[in-house]
Amino acid sequence: MLADDVACNPRNPYPAQARRAPTGGHRLDVYGQNVEVDYRGYEVTVENFMRVLTGRHDPAVPRAKRMLSDAGSNVLVFITGHGGNEFMKFQDQQELMAADVADALAQMHQKGRYKELLLVVETCQAATLYGRIKSPGVLAMASSLKGESSYSYLTDQDVGLSLVDRFTYSTLDFFERVDIHSQATLQQLFDTYSFAHMESHFGQSTENFERPLDQVRVTDFFGHVTEVRQLRGSYPLDGMPSSPERGDGGGGATAGRGDEGQVDRSCGWQEAGGGGQCRWSDDDGDSSGGGGGSRSSGSGGSSGGEAAKGRWKARPAKRLDHTGTLAGAVAAPALDGLTAGGLVALAALVAGSSWAWGARL
């Protein structure tokens, strides 16, 4: 969620960029190609923030705008902006209260939307924002304590503003020294924060967090590693059985071939017993005659890359349907006998009169 009024601001001399300004140049564009903003502008409201956390969305909200977390997810919530005692400002118009945050996290816990959650707050008097949280598994960090302000850092001479805060700068400094395989712990991260640099006291709350901080890797929250296995079968979604005639759903390996939407999906995900032996043709070109069910449009028996071609050949040529088949419409003849007779009569009259006229001269 970003108000996103920085990169394309008319005052930004580097359009579409937000360059962090370390001493000596504009090297790092923090608004780079891999920044994904889901909520921007007027969508950044307290209501949307709460909805994202709790998962209570209008049915029409697309999946890209939802946090699709479950009871096994580690969630990172990073809040930065203007704030004060137990509140944080949204767009200079609304305020997110500490009680709202606590309620949202309580709902998340009840709905099983996180396993562990790290809340990072960087506002003035940031530590007050997490003071009311009672949900288990929540770890909180703050850039300043009650009564303290958090400060910005390093004015950019071109823009005329500071593009980074002291807390964020310290955090980035730490993370630029670790990578995705790092074993660094949160305790090590916390130890790098110093009053001398931040000019405010770092705050933390581990009262709801069971694990000791020196056993929590930073990559548990600040990174994302998954093991990817490519399966050759189709995955039954939502507990529905994969039937032969399903024209939609399921993500087969060659789902892109489904030009008419009738791709055979009866892979033997269940029949072959866990091995995912798919008995329909895939890119490997394995011959898979027969298939688990009826093939689309009777192409039958063709394999591999020829499956698509076979389907093309078997289908009737898709030309303009001249005659048109509207279901249930009775095709009345366009030309009725009376008009046809009239046309013939008129033509005969013209021909006859012309002949007679020519004959008399």
Partner 1 sequence: MSGCIGNLCLGPAYYATAAVVARASLALLGAGEPLLWRPEVTTPLNSLLGVREGLRMLQLGLSPYAGASCHAPPLVLALHAATAAHPLLYALPNTVADALAALALWRLASLLCKGRSADASGMLLGPASLAAAYLWNPVGILATIGGTTTPLENLAVMAALLGGAARNAPLAAAGLVAGTYVGLHPLLLGVPLAIMFGRGCEDVTQLCDARTAGSGSLASQQGGGTSSSGGGGGGGEAGSGAETSRRAAGAGSNPVAAAATAAAATAAAAEAAARGLERKRERFEWMRCAEFAVFAVVWGGALLWLSDLFLRAHPEAQCLPRLAAWATAAAPPAAARRGACWLRASHGFALAVDDYTPNIGLFWYLLTELFDAFRPFFTFVLHSHAVIFAAPLALRFPGRPLFVAWALLLACAALRPYPSAGDLAPWMALAPLALAQQLRQLRSALFLVNALVLLAVLGPAMWSQWIIVDAANPNFFYSITLLLGVFYVVVLVQAVLLTVRVERLAAGKVVGDGLGAGGGSGGRGGDDGPVGAAAAGATAVAANGSVAE
Q: Which of residues 104-143 bind partner 1 (CB under 8 A)?
A: none
From 45-53, 227-235, 256-264, 333-341, give the range in contact with partner 1 by CB under 8 A: 333-341
Which helix (H) or strand (E) is 29 found in, with range?
A: strand 28-29
327 binds partner 1 (CB under 8 A): no
Whether 82 is catalytic: yes
For residues 257 and 306, what is the distance between their CA atoms, to the nearest angstrom? Answer: 11
Give the contact letters, 267-306, x = binds to partner 1 (CB under 8 A), - = no: ----------------------------------------
Residue among 153, 156, 190, 3 at smallest CA distance from 91: 3
* Beta carbon nearer to partner 1, 255 or 345: 345
332 binds partner 1 (CB under 8 A): yes
Whether 124 is catalytic: yes
Least distance between partner 1 and beta carbon 319 (Å): 7
Q: Which of 71, 237, 343, 348 binds partner 1 (CB under 8 A)?
A: 343
- Applying CB under 8 A, the site for partner 1 has a residue count of 26
From 123-131, 166-174, 212-220, 316-324, give the range in contact with partner 1 by CB under 8 A: 316-324
Give the angle subtended at the CA of 197 by the CAs of 192 and 201, to the nearest 5°: 75
325 binds partner 1 (CB under 8 A): no
Partner residues linked to 119 by β-bridges: 77, 140
Contact (Cβ atoms closer than 8 angstroms) between residue 140 and residue 119: yes
**Residue 154 phi, psi dihedral angles, 5° rounding:** 55, 85
Least distance between partner 1 and beta carbon 58 (Å): 38
99 binds partner 1 (CB under 8 A): no
Partner residues linked to 138 by β-bridges: 117
9 binds partner 1 (CB under 8 A): no
Measured between its terminal Cα atoms, the distance across the chain in Å is: 94
Least distance between partner 1 and beta carbon 350 (Å): 4
State both tokens at 149.
């302000």
Q: Which of 57, 82, 197, 201 is catalytic?
A: 82
Ramachandran area for residue 169 (φ above 0: left; ψ -120 to 50: alpha; else beta): alpha
Residue among 29, 28, 27, 5 at smallest CA distance from 17: 29
Q: Which of 25, 72, 334, 337 binds partner 1 (CB under 8 A)?
A: 334
* Beta carbon nearer to partner 1, 71 or 345: 345
* Beta carbon nearer to partner 1, 110 or 339: 339
Contact (Cβ atoms closer than 8 angstroms) between residue 279 and residue 288: yes
Contact (Cβ atoms closer than 8 angstroms) between residue 192 and residue 179: no
Partner residues linked to 141 by β-bridges: 120, 204
Which spans of this chain sit near partner 1 (rule: CB under 8 A)?
319-320, 322-324, 326, 329, 331-336, 338-340, 342-343, 346, 349-350, 353-354, 357-358, 361
Q: Which residues are catalytic?
A: 82, 124
